[in-house]
């Protein structure tokens, strides 16, 4: 039998585009080959290689929830060659997608627990997948708390969804912007994520924390979570490193002996603490 070329992407049609911020976009992607779409499955936390043919591939998470069938979504910032080319695409255009790759958040093991999401800026997308997964199976979890910060109001992504979560009685949403990043209409907190988290002081009892953000935020938030009583094996994150293949072969995303693409990207802080600082 002919072996499938593992590097050959699915062809995806851009079904919709949301401009999240001036340089961040969310694409909804549908499989052009419906049969491929039907067979496609993924779990929260996994990622893929998105390609613009002629420019190359770029790695980001699947930002939509596996509970939503028929499409995947990705959210990316216009940064390099591929993301700039992606950003110039329009609804109806074709791009490539390989995946899903990597391990997953062990959501099944969290049944009956509370979930605390702590995140900042463009790091919300990987957790947004888990948030919607939890909200779509809301009966499986106790409290769901989201603490989300950005440099400014303009830099908050998924604004329409933040509004939706704000209105829901079964989600506690705390949004914050850095001092100076607020607008006149801003009703959320003003301050950095660790400070806001400390003030909110969510309970760590029977709670899983998911922490994802820029390195400085992680560094300053970890002591707060520890103070709140979270143990490192109950704090999950998702790491990123430069990748090409996504499947443990091209050799560049390793942190010590683990490949972020294959052994991650999801790690507990108990695991991260054992890793050399190569991310």
**Is 220 among the residues that bind another protein (CB under 8 A)?**
no
Is the CB of 33 or the CB of 67 nearer to another protein? Answer: 33
State how far the Cα of 182 lies from the Cα of 217, in Å rounded to an integer. 19
Paired sense of beta strands 114-120 and 207-212, if any: parallel
Stretch that binds another protein, among 39-47, 113-121, 144-152, 256-264 (CB under 8 A): 256-264
Stretch that binds another protein, among 55-63, 137-145, 171-179, 201-209 (CB under 8 A): 55-63
Burial of 277 from C-beta contacts in 10 A (0-12 / 13-18 / 19+): exposed
Is the CB of 214 or the CB of 229 nearer to another protein? Answer: 214
CA-to-CA dists, residue 205 to 82, 105, 220, angstroms: 43, 19, 21
**Which of 195, 203, 226, 241 touches another protein by CB under 8 A?**
241
Identify the three-state secondary structure at position 98: strand
**Is 279 among the residues that bind another protein (CB under 8 A)?**
yes
Stretch that binds another protein, among 74-82, 138-146, 191-199, 264-272 (CB under 8 A): 74-82
Q: How far is the CB of 188 from another protein (least distance, A)?
A: 26
Contacts for 125 with CB less than 8 Å, ≥ 6 apart: 60, 61, 63, 74, 75, 157
CA-to-CA dists, residue 255 to 239, 268, 278, angstroms: 10, 14, 5
90-129 positions binding another protein, by CB under 8 A: 90, 92-96
Q: How far is the CB of 185 from another protein (least distance, A)?
A: 31
**Is 151 among the residues that bind another protein (CB under 8 A)?**
no
**Is 252 among the residues that bind another protein (CB under 8 A)?**
yes
**Which of 19, 34, 38, 53 touches another protein by CB under 8 A?**
53
**Per-residue b or e along 242-265, where b marks 16 or more CB atoms closer than 10 Å to that residue's CB:** ebbbbbbeeeebbbeebbbbbbbb
Q: In this structure, are residues 148 and 124 in contact, taking their beta carbons and an 8 Å threshold? A: yes
Neighbours of 23 (CB within 10 A): 15
Is the CB of 78 or the CB of 113 nearer to another protein? Answer: 78
Is the CB of 17 or the CB of 247 nearer to another protein? Answer: 247
Stretch that binds another protein, among 18-26, 89-97, 145-153, 227-235 (CB under 8 A): 89-97
**Is 168 among the residues that bind another protein (CB under 8 A)?**
no
**Is 249 among the residues that bind another protein (CB under 8 A)?**
yes
**Is 251 among the residues that bind another protein (CB under 8 A)?**
yes
Paired sense of beta strands 235-238 and 207-212, if any: parallel
Neighbours of 158 (CB within 10 A): 20
Q: Dmax over Cα atoms in the chain, in whole Å?
A: 64
Q: Which residues bind another protein (CB under 8 A)?
A: 3-9, 11, 51, 53-57, 79-81, 83-84, 90, 92-96, 240-242, 244-245, 247-257, 262, 276-279
């Amino acid at each position: 039998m002919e072996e499938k070329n593992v590097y050959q992407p699915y062809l995806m049609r851009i079904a919709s585009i949301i401009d999240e911020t001036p340089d961040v976009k969310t694409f909804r992607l549908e499989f052009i080959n419906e049969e491929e779409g039907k067979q496609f499955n993924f779990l929260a936390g996994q990622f893929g290689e998105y390609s613009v043919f002629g420019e190359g591939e770029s790695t980001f998470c699947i930002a939509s929830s596996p509970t939503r069938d028929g499409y995947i979504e990705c959210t990316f910032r216009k940064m390099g060659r591929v993301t700039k080319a992606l950003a110039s695409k329009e609804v109806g255009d074709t791009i490539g997608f390989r995946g899903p790759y990597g391990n997953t958040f062990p959501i099944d093991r969290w049944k009956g627990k509370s979930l605390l999401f702590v995140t900042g800026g463009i790091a919300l997308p990987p957790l947004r997948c888990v948030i919607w997964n939890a909200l779509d199976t809301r009966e499986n979890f106790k409290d769901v708390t989201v603490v989300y910060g950005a440099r400014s109001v303009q830099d908050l992504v998924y604004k329409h969804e933040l509004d939706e979560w704000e209105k829901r009685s079964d989600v506690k949403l705390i949004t914050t912007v850095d001092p100076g990043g607020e607008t006149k209409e801003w009703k959320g907190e003003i301050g950095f994520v660790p400070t806001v988290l400390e003030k909110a002081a969510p309970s760590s009892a029977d709670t899983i924390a998911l922490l994802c953000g820029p390195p400085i935020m992680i560094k300053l938030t970890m002591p707060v979570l520890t103070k709140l009583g979270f143990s490192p094996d109950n704090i999950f994150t998702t790491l990123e490193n430069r990748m090409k293949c996504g499947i443990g072969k091209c050799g560049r995303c390793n942190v010590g002996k683990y490949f972020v693409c294959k052994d991650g990207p999801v790690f507990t802080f108990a695991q991260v603490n054992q890793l050399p600082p190569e991310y």
